[in-house]
Chains A and B, each alone.
Chain A
Amino acid sequence: MRSEYELMIIGGGPAGMTAAVYAARKRIDIVMISEDIGGQVATTFGIENYPGFPYITGPELVDLFRAQMNQFEIEKYLGEKVTKLLKRDKELVALTQSGKEVIAKSVIIASGARPRKLEVPGEDMYRGKGVSYCATCDAPLFADATVAVVGGGNSALSAAFELSRIASQVYLISRRAWRADEAPLVEGVKGAKNITPYMGYLVQEIEGDDMVKKISIKSRETEERKELAVEGIFIEIGLSPNSGFAKDLVRTNEQGEIIADCNTFTGVPGVFAAGDVTIVKDKQIVIAAGEGAKAAMSVFEYLLKGR
């Protein structure tokens, strides 16, 4: 391991890989630290809104990103989790779970986000035993079963619609009116005879024996409680940013998203942030990639000034 790199990229999703390509083409000396390559895209089944590709699967798009990045010599630590990012004099230092210390002149934080949890009793206990955060993966296991989907955004409605064609009955539970705005999807869900919406309800508890057997929900308006017998519960309530390791260094909002300006600058000299880990409003592959490119450009300017 060399002592100091010009740029450290934390994260290997669309933002991180795009930043790597842009920075490598500017002959910036890069190290990438990431738990995986592809991030959430690697676990997305079909993508229909990445420009240039009318339809492509997540793993295929990741392979293309990776092949493009691997044209350049970039040092990588994969399977590594950054536990702390700090500033020591002018250097930026990342400490990893396996005990490595990686030092660079600048950093792009592109560590993305993970599915947000409901935080109700039974959720952890029944994970993989009926509780799922990946409808794409696990929906086919619930053929002819009764299931619940929690959430009101596009991903929740998409999961409910997918499940309505496999399961016998789908309860769609949301705290408030749906936020989903993809018209064909909303129409599909409204038209599905076996989807029953519970709008304005909170999930209170997940119960069962070896596997999930039922959930209890409560109306926010009337406080009335209901029990629904289900074998599966799919949680699709948005994302939680992977920013914990940087909390003492950069500013974050209430949700933990890193506050960066429109040029990805965090306010801490040499520290930039891009993609789903930031306050950028829409969590989209093309937006994350674009922000990654912007971050690499900003780093280039920053390094020039320091030379």
Chain B
Amino acid sequence: MVDIKIYTTPTCPYCMKAKDYFTKKGIKYTEYNVAQDREALREMIKISGGRSVPVIAAGDEVMIGFDQAKLEKLLEENK
């Protein structure tokens, strides 16, 4: 299984949805709170080319926002 990183803000409901999804599926992930962690914010902007949360990185694949169908496909391809 590839490393899953999720960049979040504490007030973002889509981030909560994404984390709920990982928890339900038993998928381990590392969370970066970019509202506080400036270093992680810079990294997030670099890999996503954007300024919007959540950003989910699975290995080299990066997804902006939470779209369950797309995420499942991405996880399937990166098993």
Contacts and interface: CB of A to CB of B under 8 A. Distances in A.
Interface in A245-270: none
A128 B11 CA distance: 17
A232 B50 CA distance: 11
A210 B45 CA distance: 11
Given A128-B64, A137-B14, A140-B34, A211 B9 contact: no
A237 B50 CA distance: 22
Given A43-B14, A45-B13, A58-B13, A138 B53 contact: yes
Measured as residues with beta carbon below 8 angstroms from the partner, the interface class of chain A is 20 to 34
Contacts of A128: 48, 50-52, 64-65
Interface in B1-55: 9-17, 34-35, 38, 41, 45, 48-53
B12 A136 contact: yes
The number of chain B residues touching the other chain, given as a range, is 20 to 34
Contacts, number: 69
A131 to B, nearest CB: 9
B52 A138 contact: yes
Given A79-B68, A129-B49, A137 B10 contact: no
B13 A141 contact: no
Interface of A: 42-45, 57-59, 79, 127-130, 132, 134, 136-143, 210-211, 231-232
